[in-house]
Structure 1
Amino acid sequence: MTITSAPAATARPVLPTRLALLPQGTGLHRIDGAWWPRTRHLADELPPLLDTLAPRWGRITRVTVDNAMWHTGPNRLVLGRRVIHISRSVGMGHHRSVCLLALGTGRCDLRVIAPDTPPDQAEHIMSAASRADGGTGAPAGPAGYGPHRLPT
């Protein structure tokens, strides 16, 4: 078992999280938005994402990622007094996505855009992911990966 503690916030400047979310109150969706991390190092990328999502999703305690998208890393991440459990999926259920679970709030599923994606292509994907009229927020989904409600 590997445990990693996130570096202190003052260790290096934190760049803004590249994230696009569906508007709140838009009903049931399979995918809630898109995230464009800067690297394939989950232990570095996850803390700023969780901080950005905290006002909307609360205390996220469990994360499932597509193992093929990330370098080898920890299965737990300690952020202050909070432990984030990380599962790595090798099946189709989490292909190019991240599933974040928050007790009492629900789940947030984000499409993950590879860090080396050209900016114009990534911005197009992020724009589509944040539209309630289609994009990647389609309500239908594979079995076991059903729609869920955004927090209001």
Structure 2
Amino acid sequence: MNAPTGQRAAPDRALPALLRLTLRPPTFPHGPVSGAWWPRSDDLPAELPALIQAFDTARGRVTRLTAHRDTWTQAPCDLPVAGRTVKAAWLTSGFDPHTIRLFSYGVGHWDLLVVPPGTEAAAAARLMAAAADPALRRTATALLADEDGIPSAPGA
């Protein structure tokens, strides 16, 4: 399944077909979020390798991440990914609980809306399209709260 894309955000062809990830085009400046990721579970050690491998290829080698502690069932500080370790920082306040931040050494960072794993497919498609749309400037929490006001994604 290809990740849904918004009308203004083209899919990133370097991403694996089964990874549910949508990114803003790299030529657009970062917004409150740079795209969205829809993991299949809340088991970050199981879900993270595919996400990291996609970012390594498409945007730059991921060296660390920051996430909200209450979003994930496990909070390891070291996550083994593709023969290396990605360091994790876990926050409980001052960080959007619906966001994961990926850092690439020398490249920058990307904040992704984390679409809850149990989200209905049509709603997830709308959320992912909105998060990748360079014209929209909403935080992850605002996107989830305003989901009813987001235009339907093509084919949704």
Task: Give TM-score, length-normalised by structure 2.
Answer: 0.73
Instruction: Tell me which protein shows more strand as a share of its residues.
Output: 1
The aligned runs of 1:43-62 (5 Å cut-off) are 43-62=45-64
* CA deviations over 1:7-47 (Å, ceiling 9, x no partner): xxxxxxx9811011111211242210010000000000110
Q: Secondary structure at the match of 2:95?
A: helix
For these two proteins, the number of residue pairs brought into alignment is 125
The aligned runs of 1:1-152 (5 Å cut-off) are 16-134=18-136, 136=138
Give the whole-Å Cα distance in 2 for the aligned partners of 1:58 and 1:78.
Answer: 17
Q: 1:137 offset after TM fit, Å?
A: 7.3
Other-structure match for 2:146:
none
Higher relative contact order (CA 8 A, sep 6+): 1
Work out whether residues 62 and 86 of structure 1, in 8 Å CA contact, stay in contact via their aligned partners in 2.
Answer: yes
Task: Give TM-score, length-normalised by structure 1.
Answer: 0.75
What is the one-letter code of the residue matched to 1:37? P
Q: 1:62 offset after TM fit, Å?
A: 0.7
Q: 1:92 to 1:118 in 2, by over 3 A?
A: farther
Q: 1:54 offset after TM fit, Å?
A: 1.4
Give the whole-Å Cα distance in 2 for the aligned partners of 1:80 and 1:99.
Answer: 19
> What's the % identity of the aligned pairs?
30
Please list every run of at least 4 consecutive aligned residues from structure 1 whose deviation after the TM superposition is greater than 6 angstroms: none
Work out whether residues 53 and 82 of structure 2, in 8 Å CA contact, stay in contact via their aligned partners in 1.
Answer: no
Q: 1:27 to 1:137 in 2, by over 3 A?
A: farther
* CA deviations over 1:86-123 (Å, ceiling 9, x no partner): 11111132321000111011101101011011111111
Give the whole-Å Cα distance in 1 for the aligned partners of 2:67 and 2:28.
Answer: 25
Q: 1:80 offset after TM fit, Å?
A: 4.1
Structure 2 stretches lacking a partner, 5+ long: 1-15, 141-156
Give the whole-Å Cα distance in 2 for the aligned partners of 1:135 and 1:29.
Answer: 6
Structure 1 stretches lacking a partner, 5+ long: 1-13, 139-152
